Structures are given as structure tokens and as C-alpha cells.
Chain A
Amino acid sequence: MKKAIITVVGQDTVGIIARVCTYLADNQVNILNISQTIIDGYFNMMMITDISAATKDVAEISEDLKELGKGMGLVIRCQLEDIFTSMHRI
């Protein structure tokens, strides 16, 4: 399984999760886990996703989500999971 982490940071507004999820569904990205919290007054969401069957590659998904985020005043990132596991797990 090839996993990617999607993070959304910014002001909370209606429909953030809906729009991100719609995009992911359209591109065959499966959501494995969602966690959400408020840090320093900002909406913070993290999704662990399975991109094995995705119709686009990570760089493309990342670029699309960045654009999607811009439209809502949010910073959305999509990164391969390994960068986090290598930094935080021995």
C-alpha cells in the first residue's frame, strides 16, 4: 500500500472536508483515517490516504489540492507518508 498524508490548515469554513473528499473520490484516493483539531485557533486536519489506485501521481494530486486550498484560503498539502515515518519513528 502506498500512503500519502494530506494536511489542511487554515480558517474553519463550511464544506472543507466535503470538497477535499470529493476531489479524492474523483481520483480514486482511499481515505484510511481522518483526525482533526484546532491548533492556535486554526483548523487542522490530517488524512491518511491510500493512493495505490489513484489515477494521478502524488505530485499532481499535491498540486491540485494546493489550488483547491487557495480557493478556500487554506493551505492543503499532500506528501508521501515516508517523510514523517522516517523522521518520527525508529
Chain B
Amino acid sequence: MINIFEVNETNKMIDQENLDVRTITMGISLLDCVDADIDVVCEKVYAKITTLAKNLVKTGEDISAEYGIPIVNKRISITPAALVGGTACKTTDDFVKLAKTLDKAAKEVGVNFLGGYSALVSKGMTKADELLIRSIPEALACTERVCSSVNVGSTKTGINMDAVRLMGEMVKATAEATKEQDSLGCAKLVVFCNAPDDNPFMAGAFHGVTEADAIINVGVSGPGVVKYALEQVRGENFEVLCETIKKTAFKITRVGQLVAQEASRRLGVPFGIIDLSLAPTPAIGDSVADILEEIGLEHAGAPGTTAALALLNDQVKKGGVMASSYVGGLSGAFIPVSEDQGMINAVNAGALTIEKLEAMTCVCSVGLDMIAIPGDTKATTIAGIIADEAAIGMVNQKTTAVRVIPVIGKGVGEIVEFGGLLGYAPIMPVNSFSCDAFVSRTGRIPAPIHSFKN
């Protein structure tokens, strides 16, 4: 029988250490909404989303009340829009129309984000893919809750450098289109390499074509819980350190598993995966950088940071995998800058640079995330940053991503405020040497030799 200490431990994690279920994300396939007429597509898309996700928010709130665990976000991911609108959309305006429909559907069901305004172009772009990508700046500027992602490479296909170059331009154009809001549009745009089909976290969530008609994926978080657990083992050896992280990750994932099964049962939608990601928020005590400091660094970014993060990421995965048979998505540690007070402090202290963050992305679960850069950064430079990240992902057979925000009208040292979960960030300097000639080359970077496993 459960005892009082166990009950107290769980409630303390929730009350004092920010344990929460970060998101219940319903993946919805929109492949059956394809039509030659864009108005018909929009009609079908709106009907399907508002029917399937009708009770999503209410169910999340009910589970939260009954188990006493906060469920912060309820979200939707959809089939990449380039596939859904491909037949009907002849212009970028057609795709923007679809984006507006998605936004309207998200508002109707009450979810705070809807992901999947996406294109998967890791080897090549269809006409529709390219149209969708070119529509992203306007789509993100005129919608509120739609998130966009583009997969530009994979270990199996190599890197589509034409798409990388185009995305450099689109990130810049999105920043311009939303400059009145400190280029906020870029916070809803992710460029991936090896994007997973079942990621429940925004802004990169989409419902892969390998998935069922509808699915429930759950993202659990809890950097504060890990930080607190590590405070209890200060000065101990690495074995104790790793064991503590693993056990904590196990406990957190079990809660996610329970919530996922319950949500799946109540909504009558199959359970997909649990994504155990240490996803920080700007709240004090909800920081991945704080964990790195607790492991023994003065600030995130100090020598040893990459090793500490590698250890953390791996132990989180090991604990999570023991706790649920279906762990997926990104699972590991996120290292966004603006959403993590410890990272912001590290940048302000001069300890953390983009180059160090890039090294950290070799071992974290995603990539360069929520980094504000000067508004005058060239599109080709952004493409160069994307290419570097994609190369890390491609060669290391891991997901990598870039979500940088060139803040129009602002420069290094200034602060940009995104608000809410997106936080605020000091603008970081970017290496100003040119990569124009490299990025201007057309075609693809071939897949690495170790991808040939057939």
C-alpha cells in the first residue's frame, strides 16, 4: 500500500519542483481531407479537427483535476500541410488560406498551438512543398496559434541545400513580417534534420504520414525535479549521479504514461508515445541550465558543459525507456535559451555563446532553440547555421533543429521579450564572416557512408 512519504514526495514534485505534464498533443491525419478545391479542403480540415479534438481540452482539465497534476498545454499536430494542400493550392495565398483555417479550428477547440504547417523536403521539394515554404512568413504573420516546421535533411537522404538556402530566406522574411512583435513569428518556425513523426512538442510537432488516423502523444517535463534530486547527492560520484537522474526520469515518465493512457481511453483515441523531455520554462526552478550547474558547472557554457549535458540526456532516456514501452518523440533535454532562466543568466554572464550551444546540440535532444540574434543577420548566414545543425544531425543520426529569431531593428546586447512560455532573451552575437559562396551552391549534400545499412 502507498505510504505517506511516497504521497508527499509526489506532491512535493508537483508543488515545489514544477513537475507537470507539459502537453497532451492529439495527432490528426488530414490525408482524407485532400481535394482539388481549396475551399473544400478547408471545410473538411475544419470539420475533422473540430470533431476529433472537440473534447481534448476538457478531458485534459478533468484528468488534471482528478489526479492533481498540472497539464499545462493541450495541442494538436496535423499531417504536414504541404501534403494536405498540395493538390488544391496553386499559389502561396491558397496555403495561407489553409493556415487561417487551421488557426480558426485551433481557437474553436481551445488548444494553444497547432503544429504541422510543414513540409518534409529532406531530399527534394515538390512544387507544393516549395509553395508552402514560401507562404510561411505570411501564414505565421496572420495566424496566432499555427506552428510551422520544415525538415531539410536526414541521415538517410543527406541535406537538401536548396531547401536550407530557402529556409534561411524564409526565417528572415518571417522576422520581417512579424517585426512589430519583435519577430515573434520565428518562434513558431523550426527547421529540422531527422524530424520525428510523433513529436508532441511545439513548435516542431506534426503528425507523420506513418501514423494512424488519430493518436494521443504526451510530453512530460520536470527539470526542477531532477535539479532537486541532484541537490541531495552533491559531491557523490558519477554512478550515484547517473542513478539519481535515471530514477527521477523513471518516476516522471510513469506519471506521463498514466495521463496518456487515461487521455487515450477517455477520448477514444489510441495512445502513441510518451516524450520525456526536460523542457524548461522561464519559471524559477524550471531550468535545464540549473541542472548543469548542479552537476558542477559555474554556468552553462563552461568547459565540461557538453559532457554534463551528454550524461544528462542519456540518463533521462534510460530512465524514461524503463518506465514506458512507447517512448518516442524527442525525449531528452531541451536547451532553449529564452525559455530557460539559467541559460539567460549564462548568456548575460558571458559564459554561453552560439558556438558552445552548437556543440551542446550534438548531445542534447534537439538543437539551437529560441536564440535571438541580431536583426541584420544575413539570410545566407542563417542558412549556414541551419546547414551546420543539419550536418550534426545527419552524421550523428539524431534529430537536430534550428529555431533562431533574427529580431528586426535590434542588435547584440538588447533584450527581446516574447512573453509567456516563450520567455525573453538577450540578443546573441553571430559570427559575421560570410558563407555566401557555400550556401549559394545548389543541390544536395549526400547521405553519410554510415547511413548505408541495407
A79 touches B66 (CB 8 A): yes
B4 touches A62 (CB 8 A): no
- Convert B285-304 into 0s and 1s, putting 1 for each residue whose CB lies closer than 8 angstroms to a CB of A: 00000000000000000000
Prevailing SS type, chain B contact patch:
helix
CA gap between A85 and B254 in the complex, in Å: 9
State the Cβ distance, B366 to closest chain A Cβ, in Å. 26
Say yes or no for B419: interface residue by CB 8 A criterion: no
B7 CB contacts on chain A under 8 angstroms? 5, 7, 46, 84
Say yes or no for B38: interface residue by CB 8 A criterion: no
State the Cβ distance, A22 to closest chain B Cβ, in Å. 22
Stretch at the interface among A11-19, A23-31, A32-40: A32-40
A59 touches B69 (CB 8 A): no
B2 touches A5 (CB 8 A): yes
Report how many residues on chain A are interfacial, defined by Cβ distance under 8 Å: 28
CA gap between A87 and B248 in the complex, in Å: 10
For chain B, which range describes its interface: under 10, 10 to 19, 20 to 34, or 35 or more residues? 20 to 34
Q: Which residues of A, 64-85, contact B by the 8 Å Cβ criterion?
A: 77-85
B3 CB contacts on chain A under 8 angstroms? 35, 46
Say yes or no for B65: interface residue by CB 8 A criterion: yes
B8 touches A44 (CB 8 A): yes
CA gap between A81 and B62 in the complex, in Å: 15
Once A46-B4, A82-B258, A88-B2 are accepted as A-B contacts, the answer to whether A77 and B10 lie under 8 Å apart by CB is: no
B62 touches A59 (CB 8 A): yes
Once A35-B3, A59-B62, A88-B2 are accepted as A-B contacts, the answer to whether A77 and B68 lie under 8 Å apart by CB is: yes
Q: Which residues of B, 232-267, contact A by the 8 Å Cβ criterion?
A: 251, 254-255, 257-258
CA gap between A57 and B65 in the complex, in Å: 10
Which of B4, B10, B251 has the most C-beta atoms of chain A within 10 angstroms of its own C-beta?
B4
Say yes or no for A58: interface residue by CB 8 A criterion: yes
Which of B1, B9, B255, B257 has the most C-beta atoms of chain A within 10 angstroms of its own C-beta?
B1
Say yes or no for B433: interface residue by CB 8 A criterion: no
Which of B1, B8, B68 has the most C-beta atoms of chain A within 10 angstroms of its own C-beta?
B68
A-B pair count, CB < 8 Å, reads: 66
A62 CB contacts on chain B under 8 angstroms? 65-66, 68
B4 touches A87 (CB 8 A): no
- Convert B42-81 into 0s and 1s, putting 1 for each residue whose CB lies closer than 8 angstroms to a CB of A: 0000000000000000000010011111000000000000
- Convert B1-21 into 0s and 1s, putting 1 for each residue whose CB lies closer than 8 angstroms to a CB of A: 111101111110000000000
For residue B66, which residue of chain A has the nearest CB? A58
Which of A35, A44, A79, A87 has the most C-beta atoms of chain B within 10 angstroms of its own C-beta?
A87
CA gap between A77 and B11 in the complex, in Å: 9
For residue A83, which residue of chain B has the nearest CB? B67
State the Cβ distance, B36 to closest chain A Cβ, in Å. 47
For residue A63, which residue of chain B has the nearest CB? B65
B66 CB contacts on chain A under 8 angstroms? 57-59, 62, 79-80
B8 CB contacts on chain A under 8 angstroms? 7, 39, 44
B6's contact among A57, A77, A82, A88, by CB below 8 Å, is which?
A: A88
Say yes or no for A48: interface residue by CB 8 A criterion: yes
B68 touches A81 (CB 8 A): no
CA gap between A39 and B66 in the complex, in Å: 25
CA gap between A86 and B67 in the complex, in Å: 12
CA gap between A79 and B68 in the complex, in Å: 6
B10 touches A84 (CB 8 A): yes
For residue A61, which residue of chain B has the nearest CB? B66
State the Cβ distance, A34 to closest chain B Cβ, in Å. 10
Once A84-B6, A86-B255 are accepted as A-B contacts, the answer to whether A48 and B1 lie under 8 Å apart by CB is: yes
A83 touches B6 (CB 8 A): no
State the Cβ distance, B273 to closest chain A Cβ, in Å. 17
CA gap between A10 and B256 in the complex, in Å: 29
B67 touches A87 (CB 8 A): no
For residue B257, which residue of chain A has the nearest CB? A86
Which of A5, A37, A63 has the most C-beta atoms of chain B within 10 angstroms of its own C-beta?
A5
A33 touches B10 (CB 8 A): no
List 18 interface pairs A-B (beta carbons < 8 Å), by A numbering: A5-B2, A33-B1, A35-B3, A46-B4, A58-B65, A59-B62, A62-B66, A78-B68, A81-B2, A82-B258, A83-B10, A83-B67, A83-B68, A84-B2, A86-B254, A86-B255, A87-B251, A87-B254
Interface residues of A (CB under 8 A from B): 5, 7, 33, 35-37, 39, 44, 46, 48, 57-59, 62-63, 77-89
